[in-house]
Structure 1
Amino acid sequence: MPDLRAIALGAGAWGGALLVLVLPGSAALGAVCLLVVVVGAGVRGRRWSAAWLGPLAALVAVAGVAALQQALVTTSPVASLAEEGAVVTLRLELTSDVRVVAGQYGDLLVARADVSRVEGRGSAWSLDVPVVLMADAGWPRLPLGTSFETTARLVPGDDEVAALVRPTGDPRVVAEPDVWWDAAAAVRRSVRAAVAGRDADARELVPALVVGDDGGLEPALADDFRTTGLTHLLAVSGTNLTLVVGFVLILGRWLGVRGRWLHALAAAGIVGFVITARAEPSVVRAAAMGTVALIGMGRNGRSRGIRGLGVAVLGLLLLWPRLAVTAGFALSALATAGILLLAPVWRDALMRWTPRWVAEAVSVPLAAQVACTPVVAALSGQVSLVAVAANLLAAPAVAPATVLGLTGGLAGLTWAPLGVVVAAPAAWSAQWIIAVARWGADVPTASVDWGTGPVPLTLLTIACVASVPLAPRVLRRPGSALACTGLLVVVMLVRPPSPGWPPDGWVLAACDVGQGDGLVLRAGPHAAVVVDAGPDPTLMDACLDRLEVESVPLLLLTHFHADHVDGVAGVLEGRDVGAIEGTALLDPPDGVRTVEEVVGRDPGPAAYGVARMIGEVTIQAVWPRPGASTDPGESAPNNASVVLVAEVAGVRILLTGDVEPSAQAALARDLAGLQVDVLKVPHHGSRHQDLDWLTSLGARLALVSVGADNDYGHPAPDLLVALTAAGMRVWRTDLSGDVVVVERDGEIGVVAHG
């Protein structure tokens, strides 16, 4: 039985952070005090062992640090100025790379930074608080580690940062990045250069494997990695550090390094890895877990690894208590715990009838997957069935792709052609990993939908806990192990039907794709016209799978905002797609580029005013009218949305994209007297609407495609009241999931799948 005292320390630390970060201040303080009293009384009365005092001390220490950090951030002058929306002068240092993020009205540059000085409202302060910098796409992109001054408007942030910083002027550089940041940037550039001539996907995957640089990875491929449980390869993880530092140690031994110098070499490798991958909390967390894995590979590895895991969790949370509520920390800690605690037992069971190398290859990914499954399901709403097999197949290629990719980058710093030669096998290995991800994602039942509510997650957690004692009994006998494997293969290869879904007589589906639009018009058996694809390929693909759509004769994109086009890859996933059309306004450029990269061309503009029959769908584009003008103060891409009047099985439907009030007023004039059965409410239920027109349409159903807990206040309460008062029944995807309109015996109704 392993010594779990260090694990208990880590668990206590994790609990202390969660108490402070999840509960209100007074409730957290009360909970900590109650635990101190209860545990202290139990130990003093000798009802409990004194060993309980260790986890309690860890809980109190981390809770105190978390409360102190939270207080420093929320009570800082920066936070107070942000509450007032003040325009100030700041001195900042970038602590992360600048990322390009799609905003509602165009791209934004986002980075983390620390504020060291702020001047505003006639006062000045020297301090040290974290903020998030959010600038327009045209703002200069500064490298990590740069110190600069700028004027900016402060906006309130969450509890993690003191404010959001929206620059109003150009930055003035005060200090360039330190030499180690320049060296790390040079290595990252060299890694990319070494594989630049390779396959498009491989040249993006190698930097992701080496240093977590996945910025250019195709969204559809990233979705395949998620489906197959290979996402950990796209971010900086303990695996990266284990491979890199392990290679450095092997090289050191070959060169004759021994004893304490070998430990110093390992420490240098860890520091170099952290700097190259960016010394952010998530990277340090990955480095800590990788170090635990290295310890676990040594003499008396399991016992030392378990102690190392507990100490690593305690140390990380003392430094950054907020890691306790991040998915990456939970997955990393649980996977490491599963490998250290479960894998050896399951390996020994398998070794009764398989070679040791087979037993270890199967037990390690299986243990990590079981430990992480409840958290993964809570995040994605899915349970992967192919994850263990995919990780097993990808594992042989991970080490050469990572080690040779880094070696090629380092060699390229001295002579670029040498780097290209050394990194070539890394690209070949990456291609194999990509093939595994795509193969796994194409399995008919690669994953099963699982709810994210408390009941399904509790049941899943109970099942995973129950598997801990049951798995060795199953694995030690070849008959039971092979029978379970065969059953899993059958389930993966034969897609189970969804009882009663899609419902009989369905004509229109508003897919639950989050904050965006993904609409499906039934064009015949297993065929549909798709209007917009939402922001997430996985969600769009899953909705079409549930509707059993195999052919899409027309994909129409109303406009190019990310919440309407970023899911295009999900529509194309395993389906025959015919014509692809959109609006004539190719804006914003990033949305257009996303579509071009996925489909290989610009969508042709939808023909205005032409009625077409596409299977069982009659469809006509009624906007934008050539030469029409709209309010320049409104969003041009929104007002360029293609608006459609469609009819399926006698049900008339108006699909409005994101058109704003001036475009709606023009439509009211162009289509005077228009009556429909179903209205897709414009712009996710924004408050900016022409209510007179919307309420005059005579619709019986109003569908609002909107994301839960979105930041825009959609849908607007006043709009919902007006639509209901006009006699419409309002259905929302954030509340009901997939909303499907059905026609039966001349009557229309709604069936939801949430």
Structure 2
Amino acid sequence: MIAPALGAWAGAVVAVRVTVPTALLLSGCALLLAAVVAGRVQAARARAAWIAVLLVLFVGALVLGAVRASAHRSGVVPSLAAERATVAVVADVATDPREVRGTFGTSTVVRLTVRRVEGRGTVWRLRSPVTAWVRGDAPDLRLGQQVEASGRLGPADDSATAATLSVTSLSPRPDGAPAWWWAGAEKLRAAITAAVSGRGDDVSALVPALVHGDDHALSDGLREDFRTSGLTHLLAVSGTNLTLLVGFLLALARPLGTGPRARVALAVAATVGYVLLARPEPSVVRAAVMGLVGVAGLSTGGRRRGARCLAWAVVGVVLLDPWLATSAGFLLSALATGGILLLAPVWRDALARWMPRWLAEALAVPAAAQLACTAPVAALSGEVSLVAVVANLVAAPAVGPATVLGLAGGLAGLPWGPCGQLVGLVTALPAGWIVLVGRRSAALPGAAAVVGEGALTVTLLVVVSGLVAATGHLLLRRPLPSVLVTALVTGVTVAPLSPGWPPPHWVMVACDVGQGDAAVLRAGPTAGVVIDAGPDTEAVDRCLDDLRVRAVPLLVLTHAHADHVDGLAGVVRGRDVGWVGVGSSRPALHGRDARMLESGQRWEIGDLTLTVLAPDVADVRTAVSADAANDASVVLLAETRGVRILLTGDVEPPAQATLRQTYPDLRVDVVKVPHHGSAHQDAAWLAGLGARWATVSSGKDNTYGHPAPVTLETLRGAGVTVLRTDAGGDVALVVRSGRIMGVRR
């Protein structure tokens, strides 16, 4: 069934991208090709039946998926969207609202199922999915709630919805309360969060993510550490979550004398309840299916039956929801489940020859899942985690208790809050261990290797993973070969790959130049805009070399202090430098092309848009003294790939207060903390920028006390993750799939 399942998967991938006539034409071509091959090749009856099943599933997924996708491309709502009509709708809230912070401020995105639409003087009653965008603060929306909204329709981004709706007004209907099951699930989610509140920000955010996948409270820093250490799968709803919770319930039911049928009914009821708790979104449905497949496949005994269960699950999922076939999460989930079903038992038996069986299983399961996902993870992110297997092994004993206790705390807290908090006190122990493993693993040297995401790299990883899968059990039968192979793979992999820098998709790097400032904004494959040059020529030259920057179309020197300008020769060494921008604090440039920068100026350089926010036009013509140079710093707003970055020089509270008054609505994603994170900050302005990431450029063990603890506390209190050059060398901000993340070298 594996090949027919892949055929259905391929059919669904094509289906959501083509029209129905194209799908029928492709189906006819496939059937014609099969008939020609069958006429020329004498196949056995079993082989012929196998080919027939493959074709039926491919054609079925292709045609059914195209019909469903076509329904979203035609009809009343898509027609109104093509005209960008203004409409009023009555709709059901189909997903939890999600806040998106972009270039033009904050928006709330929510999927609506439109039941009634009024536009162009006509009213239609229908059922059509749309993606709604609400600018600014959105009302409190709950899943299953019925709302009234008005706004302008626009074409959908893909075939999964019929249109987008830019909302101008939105309000819940008085008679549109969610059904009782949605209300109950919402209360349980709130009780789970309340049970672990006050146990530390990381633990309080992690437990809801483990239990039902709500990860909105996680800091970007913890997300990044979990990604580096290979623990990201814990932050999303997966088959593991369902397997743990259902397995726990069945373990409780067995001593009570429940029969097989009762236990099956309990497993089904628990699965339905869990889907309601975690929301019936595609990722949750996928996780529920894969979790049940894992339990069923392993319980039947035999890899062939387990693989058959997985194959039929893939077929069922892509036929019911063809858009899941294009989901990276579905790919990783299916591959991880396949690795566990096919490889883990063999590896476990090989290891069990010379170690306890429980330890062999603990090693084999995460290793098999990680191997199966290595190549696609590299294709998606350009990185391979070198500590993932070990981190998962060390964290695994705590995942089950943290998940089960998290749910138990919510259930206990429903009738009486203090009872839930008591359970939450115990839950914090395993959850805290998982946080500790994720943080410490990510901090290890070479925790993640940057391998790139090209076709050659991914193909090589596929070949290597296949060889390991085919021969790994032979090497694991004895301890000495196992240790030697592990050491060899680690040595060969870590040595050439761990220096992988710069990370793929980087947009900004704060260079480690000691006690000074130098930052680089990516303007092209080998081009970068440099903001300040630091105090040392060698340090900034090394940073630019490591980033492979050969052209500097613009160099901005924010002010004339030595810790920002003395490294100028290192920037220009062997590079094509365009022009230099300076403010009212002007350094000596020895004949270089220098231009005065003043507020309001704006340029586009490659992927970058740069806007000068300070100094003011009235101040720029007057030279300032060295004592006043900090507040005369050039302040820039950089925009690239939907991310806003504020570069602040060394502005201090007076200049920061001026910026706050001049730009009261300024919101950014990243801020370069002024003056190396000194204590002299306008805390209200710094915290009010809305940044999620901050960089601090300061020297290790500097005598100024930079960055100041009070400044770090202000940033953390505002939910900002701080990247410091004194703690980790060069630091980078990268943008992947629309999300910005920090990477330490």
TM-score, structure 1 normalization: 0.70
2:170 matched residue in structure 1: 170
1:613 corresponds to which of 539, 562, 566: 562
| Matched residue SS, 1:177 | coil
Shift of 1:455: 2.0
Structure 2 residue aligned with 1:467: 468
Instruction: Indicate if the aligned counterparts of 1:523 and 1:615 stay in contact, CA closer than 8 A.
Output: no
Q: Conserved in 2, the CA contact under 8 Å of 1:618 and 1:648? A: no
State the alpha-carbon separation in 2 of the partners of residues 118 and 199 from structure 1: 46
Q: Which residue of 2 aligns with 1:55?
A: 54
Structure 2 CA distance for aligned equivalents of residues 550 and 221 of structure 1: 33
Aligned residue in 1 for 2:438: 437
Give the partner amino acid of 1:343.
A
Secondary structure of the corresponding residue to residue 414 of structure 1: coil
Secondary structure at the residue paired with 1:175? coil
1:529 aligns with 2:528: no
Structure 1 442/648 Cα, relative in aligned 2: closer, same or farther at 3 Å? farther
Deviation at 1:311, TM superposition (A): 1.6
Q: Which residue of 13, 16, 31 maps to 1:18?
A: 13
Partner residue of 2:718?
Answer: none
Deviation at 1:529, TM superposition (A): 2.1
- Aligned partner of 2:161: which letter? V
Q: Bigger CA drift: 172-181 or 24-33?
A: 24-33
Aligned 1:124-273 pairs, distance under 5 A: 124-159=123-158, 160-173=160-173, 174-273=175-274
Give the distance between the partners of 1:685 and 1:97, measured in 2 at CA: 26
Post-superposition shift, 1:296?
2.7
1:644–1:134 CA distance, 2 compared to 1 (3 A): farther
Contact 2:386 2:494 in 1 (8 A): no
Distance in 1 (CA, whole Å) between partners of 2:201 and 2:258 is: 39
Aligned-pair identity (%): 42
- Between the aligned partners of 1:28 and 1:656, the Cα distance in structure 2 is 58
Taking the aligned partners of 1:681 and 1:198, their CA distance within structure 2 comes to: 37
Instruction: Give CA deviations for 1:265-303 in whole Å, capped at 9, x if unaligned.
Output: 111000000000001111011000010111134242644
Q: What is the distance in 2 between the residues matched to 1:368 and 1:406?
A: 25
Residues 468 and 267 (structure 1), Cα distance of their counterparts in 2 relative to 1, 3 Å cut? same
Tell me the SS of whatever aligns to 1:523: coil
Task: Could you tell me which runs of 5 or more consecutive residues in structure 1 were left unpaired when the two chains were aligned.
Answer: 503-510, 535-539, 541-547, 553-607, 620-640, 687-705, 707-732, 735-754
Amino acid at match of 1:451: G
- What is the alpha-carbon distance in structure 1 between the residues aligned to residue 319 and residue 521 of structure 2? 43
1:295–1:304: 8 Å Cα contact kept in structure 2? no
Partners in 2 of 1:402 and 1:450 — Cα distance? Answer: 33
Contact 1:618/1:646 (<8 A) preserved: no
- Whether the aligned pair in 1 keeps the contact of 2:15 and 2:322 (CA below 8 Å) is no
Mapping 1:569-648, distance limit 5 Å: 611-614=560-563, 617=566
Q: Is this contact kept in 2: 1:96–1:144, CA < 8 A?
A: yes
Deviation at 1:358, TM superposition (A): 2.1
Name the CA distance, whole Å, in 1 between partners of 2:357 and 2:314. 30
Name the residue aligned to 1:342: 343
Code of the residue aligned with 1:614 in structure 2: it is D
The question of whether the paired residues in 1 share the 8 Å contact of 2:613 and 2:637 is answered with: no
Change (3 A) 1:483 1:212: same
Please state whether the residue corresponding to 1:215 is helix, strand or coil: coil
Structure 2 match to 1:544:
none
Aligned to 2:28: 33
Whether 1:88 aligns to 2:87 is: yes
Residues 444, 492 of structure 1: 8 Å contact kept: no
Partner of 2:741: none
Q: In the aligned structure 2, how far is the partner of 1:375 from the partner of 1:617?
A: 45
Rate the CA distance shift 1:651–1:227 in 2: closer, same or farther, 3 A: farther
Identify unmatched segments of 5+ residues in structure 2: 523-527, 529-535, 541-556, 569-581, 604-610, 624-634, 643-668, 670-733, 736-745
Distance 1:648 1:126, change over 3 A: farther
> 1:495 deviation in Å?
8.0
Query: Take 1:25 and 1:110, find their aligned partners in 2: how far apart are those partners?
Result: 30
How far, CA to CA, are the matches of 1:550 and 1:401 in structure 2? 49
Contact map agreement 1:616 1:649 (CA 8 A) in 2: no
How far did residue 258 of structure 1 move?
A: 1.1
Instruction: Decide which moves more: 280-289 or 459-468.
Output: 459-468
Distance 1:73 1:650, change over 3 A: farther
Partner of 1:585: none
Task: State the distance in 1 between where 2:244 and 2:410 align.
Answer: 16
Displacement of 1:659 in angstroms is 5.7
Question: 1:9 and 2:4 equivalent?
Answer: yes
Q: Which residue of 2 aligns with 1:308?
A: 309
Structure 2 distance, partners of 1:651, 1:287, is 64
In the alignment, the residues of structure 2 paired with residue 171 and residue 250 of structure 1 have an alpha-carbon distance, to the nearest angstrom, of 45
Paired residue type of 2:5:
G
Q: Is the 8 A contact 2:215 2:236 kept in 1?
A: yes
1:656 to partner: Cα distance: 9.3
CA distance in 2, matches of 1:658, 1:312: 58
Q: Which residue of 1 aligns with 2:121?
A: 122
Cα deviation, residue 252, structure 1: 1.3
**How far 1:28 moved relative to its partner?**
5.0
Q: 1:656 to 1:489 in 2, by over 3 A?
A: farther
The alignment yields a C-alpha RMSD, in angstroms, of 3.8
Asked whether the 8 Å contact 1:187–1:413 carries over to 2, the reply is yes
Matches within 5 A, 1:219-618: 219-300=220-301, 302-488=303-489, 490=491, 513=505, 517-520=507-510, 523=513, 529-531=517-519, 611-614=560-563, 617=566
Change (3 A) 1:650 1:329: farther
Alpha-carbon shift at residue 356 of structure 1 (Å): 1.6
- 1:464 counterpart letter in structure 2: S
Supply the distance in 1 between the matched residues of 2:114 and 2:23 (Cα, whole angstroms): 28
Structure 2 Cα separation of the partners of residues 481 and 643 of structure 1? 65
Deviates more, 1:237-246 or 1:115-124: 115-124
Structure 2 distance, partners of 1:656, 1:488, is 55
